[in-house]
Structure 1
Amino acid sequence: MMPNFGERLRSARKMAGMSLQELSNRMESPVSKQALSKYEQGRMQPDSNALLSIASVLGVRPDYFFREPAQLSAIEFRKHAKLTEKERERIEAKALDMLERYRELESCLGLDSSFVHPFPDAVLAFFDDAGNYAEKLRQAWNLGIDPIPDVVEMLESYNVRVIMLDAPDGFDGLSAWSGDIPVIVFNKNRDVVRRRFTALHELAHLLFRCEAETPRENEKLAHAFAGAFLFPKESFLRAVGEKRTHFTERELLDIKEYFGISVQAIMARAKALGVINDFTYKNFCIAWSKNRIDEPGAYRSKEEPARFRQLLDRAVSEEVITMSKAAELAGKSYNELSEEMSFI
């Protein structure tokens, strides 16, 4: 008996982006759409041949169907994300799969990776709140006012689960909770600077109740928090001064490459701090609009989740798990993982 098989099958199918009919059509061992539906509803269970065929078509290992399922709650996609329902379901299913493997790996190592919420019940209602809480969070996490070299690494060090997915262009990021663990998912196809900003935008949704008048204003509050966290007020005023009417592109790109924040976000921050007025900001937005899709300048950082890989290496090297188990948890073949690992 596989008590969670129906739920696991539905998750694997969504992760593959397939309908029941598409799954049925691709199977070598003939299984009807109706039978697959009964599997998902828990009214029937497959025999071993059907199970192997389902796993092969969906691109998962058979033991996937025996794993304890994880749950996500309070899922928030970025507002106005241009995604179909199937694309949303696929992203959620992929995130859940990664979380389940993560949780199992931590269990193998006997790790307690609980998250300590720095501001329970905190609310963002005004733009000043965003800046104030960004400063307080830096203080709570002992980050000072210097640039954050790698935002993802910093979040993982505080037990935020960060997941990077190969996702459609309409997806930037989402936030959710898995029990009492905060989860951030972002698109690997975005550049490093955008990943940094997205991760902190989603962090704002996790740590605070955004209570502006409209959903659009709530998104702006999360943007403001991300900008303030990346570029603290003291550092900003030291870098650009208290009042400005013009900037050179070179100056803004230098700041971008030092603090890891986009030119667009730098100027939004300047407006929020009263360094520039509305007229100057509007003129900037018009002039810079040609660069919004492919902004010049770069920031040297990976901004890729690394903790899972580090724990996997530790578990294998200390012989807590076998290479076969490691391959299962990594979602790779034995040979693929063997080529990646070399022991000293």
Structure 2
Amino acid sequence: MTRQDLIPGLEERGVTPRSVCDFFDPARLTQARRLAELTKKELAGSLGVTPAAVGQYETGVSRPRPDLIPRMADTLNVPMKYFLTGRPSSRLDSSMAYFRSLRSTPKAQRERSLAFAEQIWELTFALERHVQMPLVDLPGFAGGEVHPGEDLPAEPSAAARELRSRWALGDGPVTHLVRRMESHGIVVVLPSQADPSAATVDAFSTRAPRPVVVLTSNRADDVYRHRFSAAHELGHLVLHNDATGDSRQEREADAFAAEFLTPQASILPLLPPRMDLAQLADLRRTWGVSIHSLIYRCRELGLISDATSSRAYQRLRALDGQPGFAPEPVSGFTGEQPVLLRQAFELAESDGGLTTEKLAHELGWKPERVRELLGVQDHRPVLRLVR
């Protein structure tokens, strides 16, 4: 009896350790290792090989022996077919993604987040085989399908005003920001709190090949910070061709977000000439931005001094948690929760009979990984044995 006979489901539709070895995709190993947050040394220890050997597997200098394939798949929690070459993929590096505080974000976390974004793109690409997604309507984005090659002004506030105009948002508050971004072809994702990428990395975005924005759970406890993060990443997508991670790009994305969510011409007449936190609390709910952002806007527009803004921030901290000043979780605002990928799957499910198992087979993933990224439940009945 062989090892393959002892492990149920080891061979699936002709996928064997030998076939995986013969058609091994080195980039898949790198992606799976980064998603598992394992170093080459840690993976090597699990496989009983040297870290140098793992490095050679990932660069394509050599391939893992067939007997290592099942152990590798088990360690990285993927099916063996995950490592097969031939499936569409997108390889990202730090120059292709906008990380806030790039230098202070640990390399392992950046790599895991990039691998996560790669999987989001693969999932999106797979769903587009079954469902027509919204066209990418994003001026300044080279891959845009509605405005290809059309740039917005380089100055952040002017770019924000121009995008509001092109998206026909008028001069008032931007309602359902995340849903609007999705309707213009941007894939927005909010990982579950159990996902490691959501724990320590702030929101980030990438332009390739379809724009993807990942809004992480460390801001999901407050819808107003969550919305500003979304607008901030939108600014990166339309303003910056390359991600440098420097403070200038971060300031420009912040300036874009402030003008996009609270246009100066509209918000200036509404801001109090003397600091009034109660009035700002009312504006917070109407415009969907935090009181902290509104205080900064007052200072930015010359209504208050630095000293007054400092005192206002101190008073705001003292009021934290009080009615009108407490954070409001994203879970209470459906228009700020991503639905594009899940609804695309549900449409393909109802019209074409697509299942998470079929989609997982196309992707070379486990079905539970598909369900996790789509945010759908396993509806199979649970067998419970009574003793």
TM-score in same-fold range (> 0.5): yes
The aligned counterpart of 1:189 is 218
The partner residue of 2:274 within 231, 245, 249 is 245
Matched, 1:301 2:333: yes
Structure 1's 200 and 3: CA in aligned 2 closer, same or farther, altered over 3 A? farther
* Length, aligned pairs only: 329
The partner residue of 1:177 within 201, 207, 213 is 207
* Alignment check: 8 A CA contact 1:210 1:218 kept: no
Q: Distance in 2 between matches of 1:86 and 1:285?
A: 35
Q: Distance in 2 between matches of 1:332 and 1:254?
A: 45
Tell me by how many angstroms 1:335 deviates.
Answer: 11
Structure 1's 334 and 153: CA in aligned 2 closer, same or farther, altered over 3 A? closer
Structure-to-structure mapping, 1:89-168, within 5 angstroms: 89-109=111-131, 111=132, 114-119=135-140, 120-124=150-154, 129-165=155-191, 166=195, 167=197
SS of match in other structure, 1:76: strand
Structure 1's 123 and 200: CA in aligned 2 closer, same or farther, altered over 3 A? same
Tell me by how many angstroms 1:88 deviates.
Answer: 0.9
TM-score, L = length of structure 2: 0.73
* Alignment check: 8 A CA contact 1:312 1:326 kept: no
SS of match in other structure, 2:74: helix
Q: Distance in 2 between matches of 1:245 and 1:136?
A: 31
Q: Distance in 2 between matches of 1:122 and 1:258?
A: 27
Structure 1: runs of 5 or more not aligned: none
Q: Distance in 1 between matches of 2:189 and 2:327?
A: 25
The aligned counterpart of 2:78 is 60
* Alignment check: 8 A CA contact 1:20 1:37 kept: yes
Q: Distance in 2 between matches of 1:25 and 1:137?
A: 51
Moved more, 70-79 or 304-313: 70-79
Q: Distance in 1 between matches of 2:73 and 2:55?
A: 16
The aligned counterpart of 1:16 is 36
Q: Distance in 2 between matches of 1:258 and 1:3?
A: 56
* Alignment check: 8 A CA contact 1:253 1:296 kept: no
Q: Distance in 1 between matches of 2:164 and 2:367?
A: 37
SS of match in other structure, 1:184: strand
Deviations 1:254-283 (A, max 9, x none): 222232211111111222233334442233
Tell me by how many angstroms 1:18 deviates.
Answer: 0.3
Structure 1's 8 and 297: CA in aligned 2 closer, same or farther, altered over 3 A? closer
Tell me by how many angstroms 1:17 deviates.
Answer: 0.7
The aligned counterpart of 2:249 is 218
Q: Distance in 1 between matches of 2:59 and 2:254?
A: 41
Moved more, 11-20 or 316-325: 316-325
Moved more, 163-172 or 291-300: 291-300
User: Relative to total residues, which structure has the larger strand share, 1 or 2?
Assistant: 1
Q: Distance in 2 between matches of 1:136 and 1:92?
A: 30
SS of match in other structure, 1:117: coil
Moved more, 271-280 or 284-293: 284-293
* Alignment check: 8 A CA contact 1:75 1:174 kept: yes
SS of match in other structure, 2:165: helix
SS of match in other structure, 2:136: coil
Structure 2: runs of 5 or more not aligned: 1-18, 141-149, 382-387
* Alignment check: 8 A CA contact 1:164 1:187 kept: yes
Tell me by how many angstroms 1:199 deviates.
Answer: 1.4
SS of match in other structure, 1:175: strand
Q: Distance in 2 between matches of 1:291 and 1:62?
A: 54
Moved more, 195-204 or 292-301: 292-301
The aligned counterpart of 1:74 is 96
The partner residue of 1:262 within 290, 312, 320 is 290
Q: Distance in 1 between matches of 2:60 and 2:294?
A: 53
Structure-to-structure mapping, 1:319-338, within 5 angstroms: 319-327=352-360, 332-333=367-368
Tell me by how many angstroms 1:320 deviates.
Answer: 5.0
* Alignment check: 8 A CA contact 1:224 1:269 kept: no
Tell me by how many angstroms 1:117 deviates.
Answer: 3.4
Q: Distance in 2 between matches of 1:151 and 1:4?
A: 42
